[in-house]
Amino acid sequence: MSRIGKKAVEIPAGVTLTLEGQTVTVKGPKGQLAWTIVEEIEIKLEDKELSLTPRDDSKRAKSMWGLSRTLVANMVQGVTQGYEESLELVGVGYRAAMKGNALSIQLGFSHDVDVPAPAGISFAVPKQTEIKIAGIDKQLVGETAAKIRRIRPPEPYKGKGVRYLGEKVRRKEGKKK
C-alpha cells in the first residue's frame, strides 16, 4: 500500500478542481494546469478533497498511485504558490543579464549564451551571478534549471560553472609537482 497515495489532496480556497473523465484540471490565482491520470487509478472528488485509489492490484496500478497523487498535489501547490529554482554562477567573468524575456549568460565561451524563456516560465536576475527561475509547473521549472546548468556544469578542480544555490561541489586535488 502506498503511504503517499492514501493521503487525500486538500483543495484550498480560491482553487477550483474539475474532473472530466481521467483529466484533472486545476485553476487557481496563478494560472491553470491540466493532467490526464492513467486508467488504472480511480479519482473521487468529495467536498474539498480529492482521493485516488488503484482500480486493481496490478504492479502498474500500485506504481502509479503515489505518483498520480503527488503530481495532482504539485499542480495544486503550483497554481497557489508557484515554484522557484535558484542558480548561481561561479567563475571569473561569469554573469547573467536579461535580454527582453530571454536570459543572456556569459560563461567563458567566445559568445554569450541566450536562453529563451519557455511558455509559463519567467527569469529574474537579482545579482549578476544569480538566476531565479519561476513558474507554476514544477517539472518545467526544474527542467529549465537543469538545461541552464547543463550549459556549463560545475567542474571538480576549481569549482567553476553553473550550480544550484547551496549545491556543494566535491573538489578534487590537482596535479602535484
Burial of 126 (0-12, 13-18, 19+ CB in 10 A): exposed
44, 54 in Cβ contact below 8 A? Answer: no
Cell, residue 177: 609537482
pTM: 0.89
Nearest to 16 by CA among 90, 79, 91, 107: 79
d(CA 152, CA 98) in angstroms, rounded, equals 18
Q: Taking residues 112-125, what's their average pLDDT?
A: 95
* Domain 83-164, architecture per CATH: Alpha-Beta Complex (3.90)
Domain map (residue ranges) of the chain: 3-80, 83-164
What pLDDT does residue 38 have? 93
The overall average pLDDT reported for the chain is 93
Q: Report the CATH number of the 3-80 domain.
A: 3.90.930.12
Which residues are bridge partners to 121 per DSSP? 135
What pLDDT does residue 177 have? 81
Residue 176 — pLDDT band, cuts 50, 70, 90?
A: confident
Domain 83-164 in the same topology as domain 3-80: yes
H helix or E strand, kind and range, residue 6:
helix 3-6
d(CA 81, CA 101) in angstroms, rounded, equals 22
What pLDDT does residue 47 have? 86
